[in-house]
Amino acid sequence: MIWLQAIIIAVFVLIHLFAERFHITKNGTRSSWLSFAGGIAVAYVFIHIFPELELAQRHITSQWKFIPFIEHHAYLVALLGLIVFYGLERGAKLSRSKQDFPIRHTKTTTSTGVFWLHMTSFAIYNALISYLLVHREEQDLYGLIFFSIAMGLHFFVNDYALRQFHKDTYQKYGRWLLSAAIVVGWTIGLSMKISEAMTGVLFAFIAGGVILNVLKEELPEEKQSRFWPFALGAGVYTVLLLLL
């Protein structure tokens, strides 16, 4: 299914490169489509990511018995992923808030540092997701399609959030870096395969990051709430995941 993976990777790249052309805000609030995408991503987290953490745990337990507290290792890694991405996001927002004050000689340096830290973390995030596109637990066609739809919409919402935060700098540099990271991760996935236990660790770490980003961005904020599109997206995708 390499040809299908190549098409999916191309779509992921196009999402980052051209997402700004979609009208996903209206009068300062999220559009219904953005909330619908958030609902799909949330459904995928609860219906697929949580159960797959258990599968990842089995691989880790069987191959890395020498690690203390191995019976909870995948869940600890998922928690670590959530904490790491929360810390990066929190640090970026705190640094951004300080820029509201006219501090001489520091604004440009701080802004640049925050931007590249943010982009580097999300580049690694994107590369790991595209690597797992090749080495997922479920290698069937339906698993690939559902994973790709959920992650594609997840990229779409992440792109919106990063574009809102970094403005023109993201448009000029960030979208290209994140697009390249997707291709790099997929290429690494095709050229090499690590152990199932290490793949489980990577999946658990990404699961924590996905959960954090879902809660942070894809659950609409009160001022931007579009509840019914969000609920519709979550409901429809849940039914599809359970039936197929």
Provide the pLDDT for residue 225: 61
The per-residue pLDDT for range 172-224, each reduced to its tens digit, is 999 999 999 999 999 999 999 888 888 888 888 988 888 888 878 766 565 56
**Has residue 135 been placed in a domain?**
yes
Number of folded domains that form the chain: 1
What pTM does this model have? Answer: 0.84
Least trusted range by pLDDT, from 5-19, 51-65, 117-131, 150-164: 51-65
The per-residue pLDDT for range 65-120, each reduced to its tens digit, is 766 666 677 888 889 999 998 988 888 777 777 665 554 444 443 468 788 888 99
The domain of 157 spans 39-243
- Quick one: residue 69, left, alpha or beta (phi over 0 = left, psi -120 to 50 = alpha)? left
Distance CA 16, CA 178 (A): 7
Provide the pLDDT for residue 187: 96
**Has residue 8 been placed in a domain?**
no
Instruction: For residue 158, give every residue at least 6 positions away whose Cβ sits within 8 Å of its Cβ, in sequence order, or none.
Output: 122, 213, 217
Provide the pLDDT for residue 105: 45
**Has residue 25 been placed in a domain?**
no
Please, are residues 237 and 148 in contact by the beta-carbon 8 Å criterion?
no
Place of tokens 């943010």: 118
Q: Could you please report the per-residue DSSP string of 16-40?
A: HHHGGGS--EETTEE-HHHHHHHHH
Provide the pLDDT for residue 83: 93
**Has residue 12 been placed in a domain?**
no
Provide the pLDDT for residue 90: 83
Q: What is the mean pLDDT of residues 50-64?
A: 80
Looking at the predicted structure, is the pLDDT value of residue 168 above 80? yes
